[in-house]
Structure 1
Amino acid sequence: MSKSLARIRNRLRMAGWDGIQSAIVVFGGAQRLRLLGRLDAHGRTLPKPARRIWPVSTGLTGFGCQQDSGRTPTGMHRIGAMIGADAPLGMVFKSRQATGEIVSPGVRREGDFITSRILWLEGLEPGHNQGPGLDSRERYIYIHGTPHAARLGTPASAGCVRMRDTHVARLFKKVGTGTLVYILPPEKPGR
């Protein structure tokens, strides 16, 4: 295990993670999401690690916690709500409600579509990602599906963490409300 991953696991443990249940880490520099832990939210053993790393897109304007910045918030979060468990893949959500519209992967229409599943994040760090003017939940920061799969692996969202519809549906089954989510910005050179 790399020193970096060891530090991440220690930080998650300080936030209450037991190393057995699931935890999510978003690596901003690599534009990847990794699921840690040995059991999912239902107590089932998770698959091999290679199947638990997925490409994502974070904020086009970078990382930060300020309201209306379009940036992806950093730091420790937890899943506060899970929406769309029975929705078909590609279902479009507006204000966390299914619209009935389904978009296919690779759709050419512009827009920050929220599709398939929503994992609504709550910041756990007062004054950083929790509280007035920077609260992740009040900013409506989600991990959610997108039909714009070609943009995954590069910053492209309005602040949320986007995933391929099939990937977010798989992730949704492996986590639960309260699962910790640690979002890391790209490392600065020389660190």
Structure 2
Amino acid sequence: MAGPEVHIDVALQQLHLMLDGATLRTYPVSTALNGVGEHNGSGCTPRGLHRVRAKVGAGCAPGTVFVGRRTTGELYAPELAAAHPGRDWILSRILWLTGCEPGVNRGGAVDTLRRYIYIHGCPDDCPMGVPRSHGCVRMTNADVIDLFDRVAVGTRVCIHSIQTPGLMEGAAP
């Protein structure tokens, strides 16, 4: 029996945690405002097969602020947001992705790892279910903490932009 896998359906703005073909959990997400694409600087969410390269933030308080994958010592609050307008908030936990497909999402100008593409938490008032990120996959803080605790480094992550057969909108997880 293999471990869990993550499937991110960009069309539905959902992340499915799967085990042996069965959906264990479904979470709403927010992928890139610019859509899907693999090129560095595109602001797009990369497609294809990835793996969790690193997990950052174990044991940190919900709302912990990260910059460059390091804690800043801050906890997100509306006052902090007001003091830093326009900041791309990376909160609570980070699952740093690496591409597995040379020329598609690994190496050269399409390298997911070098693009710093994460699954991460964001302010709780950020809408889920609509594309708004700069390329990463955003989740609520509670959801990213839950996912973080359920996956390991090396977990397969498949990002696709067409609906997965068998995963119908509104279906129970």
- Range of TM-score over shorter length: 0.7 to 0.9
Contact 1:59 1:155 (8 Å CA) reproduced:
yes
Letter matched to residue 36 of structure 1: M
Aligned to 2:75: 102
Structure in which a larger fraction of residues adopt helix: 1
Contact 2:124 2:141 (8 Å CA) reproduced:
no
Contact 2:65 2:71 (8 Å CA) reproduced:
yes
Letter matched to residue 81 of structure 1: A
Paired with 2:46 and 2:60, the residues of 1 have a C-alpha distance of: 27
Paired with 2:100 and 2:5, the residues of 1 have a C-alpha distance of: 14
RMSD: 1.9
Percent of matched pairs sharing the same residue: 43
Structure in which a larger fraction of residues adopt strand: 2
Secondary structure of the 1:151 match is coil
What are structure 2's unaligned runs of at least 5 residues? 164-173
Q: What TM-score, normalized to structure 1?
A: 0.78
Contact 1:149 1:163 (8 Å CA) reproduced:
no
Aligned to 1:171: 147
Aligned to 1:82: 55
Paired with 1:184 and 1:36, the residues of 2 have a C-alpha distance of: 15
What are structure 1's unaligned runs of at least 5 residues? 1-17, 39-45
If asked which structure has higher relative contact order (CA below 8 Å, sep 6+), I would say 2
Contact 2:7 2:159 (8 Å CA) reproduced:
yes
1:80 CA displacement: 0.3
1:104 CA displacement: 4.1
The reply to whether residue 142 of structure 1 matches residue 118 of structure 2 is yes
Paired with 1:132 and 1:86, the residues of 2 have a C-alpha distance of: 34
CA distance 1:186–1:104, change in 2 (3 Å): farther
Q: What TM-score, normalized to structure 2?
A: 0.85
Aligned to 2:103: 127
Equivalent residues in 2 for 1:39-50, closer than 5 Å: 49=24
State the aligned residue count. 158
Paired with 2:100 and 2:159, the residues of 1 have a C-alpha distance of: 12
Runs of 4+ in structure 1 off by over 4 angstroms are: none
